[in-house]
Amino acid sequence: MGTISLSDYEDVRIWAPWGHIAGRWYGNRSERPILAIHGWLDNLGTFDRLIPLLPDYLGVLCIDLPGHGCSARLPAGMHYSTAEFILIITRVMKEYKWPKVSLMGHSLGGVLCYIYTALAPHTVDLVISLDIILSPLEAPEALDYLAYFLDKRLVEAERIEEAAMREPPSYTLAQLRSALSEGSNKSVPPELAQHLLPRSVARSQMYPEKYYVSRDGRTKCHNVLLINAGLAAEMARRIKKNPYLVIKGTESSYISSNDDELINILRNQNAHFEYHEVPGTHHVHLVSPALCARHIVPFLRHHRPPIVSSWTPDGEVHRLRSREHRLAQENFYARRLSTL
């Protein structure tokens, strides 16, 4: 058995009342995959460097959250929220009729995995959380955050109206790579921004050599689910038996002493809980994918080992045919990536 090929995928569109959820299903498509969820303002390209290191008897379905990447935006007048993002997990499960789900999330995606697992632990068979456990807990500083975004939401609503009449400001790819890196507090180096840009920008019609940001600006000020320390701890207590892997980047502060109580609860009551630190930034899976894979692959092989159909000759033929078909098929997103 080998690893997943980044060129072996199927683009998917999952129906939603406001449009669709876009995704890419990598690797084995005959079995239930890992559902991978990106972080705030990112898209499924964040997993580009990790996917090719994962075992090919499994598949990975990476999705763009609403308003991100190539997923549909919410209607005008609506706002994004953590609570609504959590429902995306159940929507995907319903679409594919999965009784259980395997979750992998980075940053906001990891928070969604944590909350969903606490709410419905009987439907989760494993969780991989990349440089996050839970977002900052309820604190007085949260009021400043909420106050700032009161006006910010109105500004973004006005920008949407303007964008309907004229094209947004456009930039060179070098400028966008630099801006993305700066916007992530240099968690994403400029040279790795290419993995996120293809699904975050569109070519300018006015200046063909430039691009503009196509992500919905309202995602920058989504409604955060404020959770106090007591509720966060109770959530951890509900995650008793679910295999749970946390990987922290050593250069990141997204997991800190504030999470000690949650880590202790998970570690003391859950025999399948793992916590590892590897060199890297908040985007540790993008910056240090091989180091992350050293922990992720054994975790997957232990908690989701290959079934017979995944490695029999018939199963291998199915994967090879599927890969051949995928490589032969022209794909819009792949063409766009090659132009950047």
User: What are the tens digits of pLDDT across the range 48-91?
Assistant: 999 999 999 999 999 999 999 999 999 988 889 999 999 999 99
3 state DSSP class of 56: coil
User: What average pLDDT does this structure show over 16-36?
Assistant: 97
Comparing 330 with 276, the larger pLDDT belongs to 276
pLDDT-based confidence at residue 225 (cuts at 50, 70, 90): confident
In the predicted structure, residue 123 carries a pLDDT above the cut 80: yes
DSSP class of residue 74 equals P
What's the pLDDT score for residue 159? 78
pLDDT-based confidence at residue 137 (cuts at 50, 70, 90): low
> Between 3.40.605.10, 3.50.50.60, 3.40.50.1820, 3.90.1200.10, what CATH number should domain 9-138+218-339 receive?
3.40.50.1820
DSSP H helices, the chain, are 82-96, 108-119, 141-163, 173-183, 229-238, 260-269, 284-287, 289-303, 308-311, 313-328, 332-339
Residue type, 65: L
User: What are the tens digits of pLDDT across the range 296-335?
Assistant: 999 999 999 998 654 444 444 444 444 444 444 345 444 5
When mean pLDDT is compared across 111-115, 213-217, 248-252, 307-311, the lowest value belongs to 307-311
- List C-alpha distances in Å: 185 to 122, 188, 218, 287, 306: 37, 8, 20, 14, 39
Catalytic residue ranges: 107
When mean pLDDT is compared across 55-64, 133-142, 242-251, 256-265, the lowest value belongs to 133-142
Share of the chain above pLDDT 90, in %: 74
User: What are the tens digits of pLDDT across the range 151-176?
Assistant: 787 787 777 777 667 888 999 999 99
- pTM (2 d.p.): 0.88
In the predicted structure, residue 139 carries a pLDDT above the cut 70: no
Taking the domains of the chain in order of start, what are their residue ranges?
A: 9-138+218-339
Distance separating alpha carbons of residues 87 and 90, to the nearest angstrom: 5
